Amino acid sequence: MIISVLVEVASQNIDRLFDYKVPNSLISKIKIGIRVIVPFGNRQVEGFIMKIKQTSEIEDLKDINNVVDEEVVLNEELLKLGKYMSRKYLTNLINCYQIMLPSALKAKNKTNINIKTEKYIILNKEISNIKTNPSQQKIIDILNKEKEVKKSLLNTISQSSLKTLLKNKIVKEIEKELYRLTNEIKTKPKSTLTADQEKVVAEVIKNKKLPQTYLLHGVTGSGKTEVYMEIIEKNLLNQKTALVLLPEISLTPQIVERFRERFGNKIAILHSGLNAGEKYDEWRRIRNEEVNIVIGARSAIFAPLKNIGVIIIDEEHSTTYKENANPHYHAVDIAIQRSQFHQSIIILGSATPSLESYARAQKKVYQLLELPNRIFNREMPKITIIDMNKKLKQKNSYFSDDLVTKMQKVLARDEQIILLLNRRGYASFITCFDCGHVEKCPKCEITLTYHKTSNNLRCHYCGYATKKSETCPTCHSLNFKKLGLGTEKIEEELNNLFSKYKIIRMDLDTTTKKGSHERIINDFKAKKYHILLGTQMISKGLDFDNVTLVGVINADTALNIPDFRSSEYTFSLLNQVSGRSGRGKKRGSVIIQTFNPDHYAIMFAKNNDFKGFYQQEMFIRGKLGYPPYYYLVSIKIMSASYDVAKEISNKISYILKEDLINSIILGPTIPNVFKINNIYRFNIIIKYKHELNLYPTLIKIKNHYKSNNKVKIDIDFNPIGL
Ligand code: ADP
Ligand code: ZN
Ligand code: ZN
């Protein structure tokens, strides 16, 4: 017997199969999709069995050393999916398989993952009339009722009776794998759907044309989660399974809890808070078909679930669904592949769908479903915009009087407040503290990024550079500086202004410990705090019915990040965070402080007008040639030598310009962080609508440099953040 093996060696040169012989002693264990240990050069490495065959063109094949798995780790579907990814993202096949598996299974980071087992007793099937004593009979009665019972438990009834039953083969012993996490189940009766929710569910269920992707556009608090659960339940009744993706599991414990309450322990939850062993346990529960629902973040899209009926991607616009490292996959692309294999449906849900998805729904590639109203027709919160240009001149505070007054009123009524300060815009940009002016690239409408070393402002898309002036070009103020304001600073001011009240801060610094998100959220829900202050972490998925005021300290941070999607991010963030207000019976309000009160993203957010925003933003994207009208590919050229990186970037840019006559080639440019760990990076962007030469050219470039170890080339299709 001969097998073809994909070895776990990460080198662009070795991304192909190698044949090995299987010694007779191992033949019975060989299966496609398990791992084996093989000699490779003078080492031993792990690899996946991809093919089993009888002959090989290669003579003098070496024997494999051993077999690693008893059961398949990459099933037929995942093997196929990896090949698709390798073609689509131009990455090594082995990398594609590695990211599908829990880290505990990776050869290079062997963690200690002892599998624990526990002995159970079951009845032997063919027991006829037997004579038993009372304690033996008691054991049999228990087993008749419970099917399988821990041996330790039955031993407490009568050790000798159990022994006799075992000896007479009336019962037998089995060993079961013990999982580290035990899920307590608290089931809760489900709510009756509203007519709007029913309509959406019925629309999905009656569809017989598979696969099908739906875009569920539902305002915050419209009951999308309830709709997901109903559709899942209908699938379970048909013996189908469900895969649910959430942007970040640790930030959304409330949603996970709702799924647990509804579906009990038939759920596997994959999240970053689990250690390697726990993740591996969850993965095995899925592989062993012990669960029929999987909930997880981006990488859960690779869960080895069989018979998938529905894939749900909640908050589908979230950038966390795009993998930043190689292979640069998008969870929605993978979902679409899997839905074709399983003939299943996909539901992409959001209050603020990405422009790409909404445009696809407009073109009927996705079917649009809408929940335009909040549950029980609860009102959307009232949103007020505060122009900080006027306020800041009056007094030196980050809080406007309007916000402070409103907060006092809400606190006096014993209701709670969420405050957002989005610090995500880390890239340093320069803004005028008097008029709010921000410098943008004249060609790309992208915020220019300040580079301290050269004291100039640069465009990260086209490379445009200009000297930073000392005064504001619009109002000539000297107050033209780098923007930097953190949650800690705000917390300080908050403590002075509201010393009587309890304030809790939730950001990266206060949530490093395992379970800290959950604790903050639970404490806030239990009203141990009056004010929750946080970064965009607090904008998603939280459902507190006593929160009637949301305040946004500064809506401009997201607006000024150097990215063509900055307006979209701003609209979406404001909409999401506003959606945390007034979710209960009392109507909520929102106060948004900004230096750009006339910006369309802020105006449409004020009116909760997604469609208006969509049209305006599409117009701008079309005019400037950005997605969804154009596709983008980003190529990063990385080298320890500045000269090599620069020279090769110029060469690649030249080849692209020669070969891709239907595309626009931007760059090479120097990105914001252009030197990381002493590696220099250059960036080239390809913009295109239809480009038949794209793949052949990129493959040519990749192959040309693949054995050049002075340079690394990273290709990212449809990049998020350049
Ligand atoms: P979304 O996911 O669209 O923000 P949710 O599913 O979280 O909305 O629903 C908002 C709130 O309304 C939640 O507290 C939820 O429990 C409640 N809810 C949703 N649907 C119903 C229903 N049919 N009956 C009663 N309560 C519901
Ligand atoms: Zn100014
Ligand atoms: Zn530019």
Minimum mean pLDDT range among 426-440, 615-629, 700-714: 426-440
Provide mean pLDDT across the span 386-411. 83
pLDDT (tens digit, 9 = 90+) per residue, 229-253?
Answer: 999 999 999 999 999 999 987 777 7
Minimum-distance ligand 1 atom for the alpha carbon of 220: 4
Sequence length of the chain is: 722
Give the per-residue pLDDT at 677. 65
First to last CA, the chain: 49
- Average pLDDT on 444-448 reads 77
Q: What is the mean pLDDT of residues 133-142?
A: 88
Least confident among 81-90, 114-123, 669-678: 669-678
Q: Does the CB atom of residue 534 touch ligand 1 within 6 A?
A: no
Residue 139, CA distances (Å) to 122, 136, 154 in order = 10, 5, 7
H or E stretch including 200?
helix 195-206
Ligand 1 pocket, residue 277 CB under 6 Å: no
d(CA 321, CA 315): 10
Between helix 224-237 and helix 195-206 the angle, nearest 10°, is 40
Average of per-residue pLDDT across 269-289: 87
By percentage, how much of the chain surpasses pLDDT 70? 91
Protein residue with least CA distance to atom 20, ligand 1: 223
350 lines ligand 1 (CB under 6 A): no
230 lines ligand 1 (CB under 6 A): no
The pLDDT value recorded for residue 430 is 78
For the ranges 129-143, 577-591, 707-721, the lowest mean pLDDT is seen at 129-143
CA distance 212 to 347: 9
Question: Which of 100, 53, 60 is closest to 81 using CA atoms?
Answer: 100
Ligand 1 in contact with 224 (CB < 6 A)? yes
Centre of ligand 3 to C-alpha 153, Å, is 71
Question: pLDDT category, 190, cuts 50, 70, 90?
Answer: confident
Residues linked to residue 503 through DSSP beta bridges, in sequence order? 531
pLDDT of the residue at 123 = 87
Structure tokens at 261: 């309450």
Among the bound ligands, the one closest to the CA of 461: 3
Cα 604 to ligand 3 centre (Å): 26
Distance in angstroms (rounded) separating the CA atoms of residues 483 and 433: 9
Span 554-587, pLDDT tens digits: 888 778 777 899 999 999 999 999 999 888 888 8
Show me where the domains of the chain are located: 2-105, 117-177, 195-377, 382-426+485-621, 631-717
Q: Which of the listed residues 199, 219, 226, 227 should we mutate to test ligand 1's pocket, taking the one with most ligand atoms within 8 A of CB? A: 226
CATH architecture of 382-426+485-621: 3-Layer(aba) Sandwich (3.40)
CATH topology of domain 195-377: Rossmann fold (3.40.50)
Q: Is the CB of 220 under 6 A from ligand 1?
A: yes
Same fold, 2-105 and 195-377: no
* Residues 214, 310 contacting (CB under 8 angstroms): no
Confidence of residue 96 (pLDDT cuts 50, 70, 90): very high
Q: Which atom, in ligand 1's list, is nearest to the CA of 227? A: 6
Q: Give the residue, 512 or 331, on which the prediction is more confident.
A: 331
Ligand 1 atom index nearest CA of 545:
14
* 424 — pLDDT class (breaks 50, 70, 90): very low
d(CA 431, CA 472): 8
- Cα R_g (the chain), whole angstroms: 29
Q: Whose Cα sits closest to atom 18 in ligand 1?
A: 223
Ligand 1 atom 5: the closest Cα is on which residue?
Answer: 223
Ligand 1 pocket, 191 CB below 6 A? yes
Mutate to test the pocket of ligand 1, among 201, 375, 545, 610 (most ligand atoms within 8 A of CB): 375
pLDDT at 617 over 80: yes
Q: What is the mean pLDDT of residues 643-650?
A: 94
- Choose among 534, 570, 535, 531: nearest CA to 549: 531
Q: Are 580 and 418 in contact (CB under 8 A)?
A: yes
The predicted structure's pLDDT at residue 403: 94
pTM of the model: 0.84
Contact 517 CB / ligand 1 (< 6 Å)? no
222 lines ligand 1 (CB under 6 A): yes
Instruction: Measure the CA–CA gap between 489 and 567, rounded to whole angstroms.
Output: 26
Identify the residue with better confidence: 263 or 348: 348
393/493 Cα distance (integer angstroms): 18
pLDDT, residue 426, reads 42
Q: What mean pLDDT do residues 333-352 have?
A: 97
- DSSP designation for 238: T
CA distance 534 to 552: 10
Residue at 565: amino acid letter: R
Would you state the pLDDT for residue 667? 86
Q: Which atom of ligand 1 is nearest to the CA of 226?
A: 6
Q: What is the pLDDT of residue 610?
A: 97
Of the pLDDT bands very low, low, confident and very high (cuts 50, 70, 90), residue 113 is low
Which amino acid residue places its CA nearest to atom 17 of ligand 1?
A: 223
Asked whether 436 lines ligand 1 (CB < 6 A), one says no
Supply the pLDDT for residue 703.
92
Q: Which CATH architecture has domain 631-717?
A: 2-Layer Sandwich (3.30)
- Residue 25, pLDDT score: 95
Ligand 1 nearest-atom number relative to CA 351: 3
Average pLDDT over residues 77-85: 97
Identify the weakest region by mean pLDDT among 186-200, 382-396, 459-473, 651-665. Answer: 382-396
Q: How far apart are CA 355 and CA 613, in angstroms?
A: 10
CA 595 to ligand 2 centroid distance, Å: 11
Residue linked to tokens 């993202």: 89
Class of domain 2-105: alpha beta
Contacts of 358 (CB under 8 A, 6+ apart): 215, 217, 614
Mean pLDDT of 262-272: 86
* Residue 147 Rama label (left phi>0; alpha psi -120 to 50; beta): left
CB 278 near ligand 1, within 6 Å: no
pLDDT confidence of residue 556: 84
pLDDT in tens, 685-717: 999 999 999 999 999 999 999 889 899 999 999
E strands in 63-199: 66-67, 116-123, 148-150, 171-178
* Host H or E run for residue 495: helix 487-497
> Does residue 193's CB lie within 6 angstroms of at least one atom of ligand 1?
yes
Per-residue model confidence as pLDDT tens digits over 531-550: 998 887 777 768 898 999 99
State yes or no: pLDDT of 107 exceeds 60: no
Q: What is the mean pLDDT of the chain?
A: 88
